[in-house]
Amino acid sequence: MIFEALGKKPKVKSLPGWLIPTAIGITKFIAVFIPKVRHATEFLRIFHYYSINDMLAPGYGTRTLKDHFDMLAKEGKEA
């Protein structure tokens, strides 16, 4: 919907499902020796959580997400 509102073609990349859990394990191991790497591990855990869980909002209101993106695209082009 965002790409339609902006009139552009989507450029979407995908990752294999095993990549993030593997990266979490690797950074967790490295964090034993380099404590600052724990931040990367936590970031990857949060990224993984939000990528596999459905974050649907309740269906209230009358304006659709497409209408919202169209409005933002129009206002952004005028500014």
Q: Which helix (H) or strand (E) holds 5?
A: helix 2-6
Read off the pTM. 0.58
- Write out pLDDT tens, residues 1-11: 778 888 889 88
Domain that holds residue 72: 2-7+16-78
- pLDDT number for residue 79: 46
Q: Which residues of 58-79 are buried (b: 16+ CB within 10 A; e: fewer)?
A: eeeeeeeeeeebbeebeeeeee
Our count of domains for the chain comes to: 1
E-state strands within 1-79:
none
Q: Are 24 and 45 in contact (CB under 8 A)?
A: yes
- Write out pLDDT tens, residues 18-67: 999 999 999 999 999 999 999 999 999 999 998 888 777 667 778 888 88
The residue whose two tokens read 């129009």 is 74
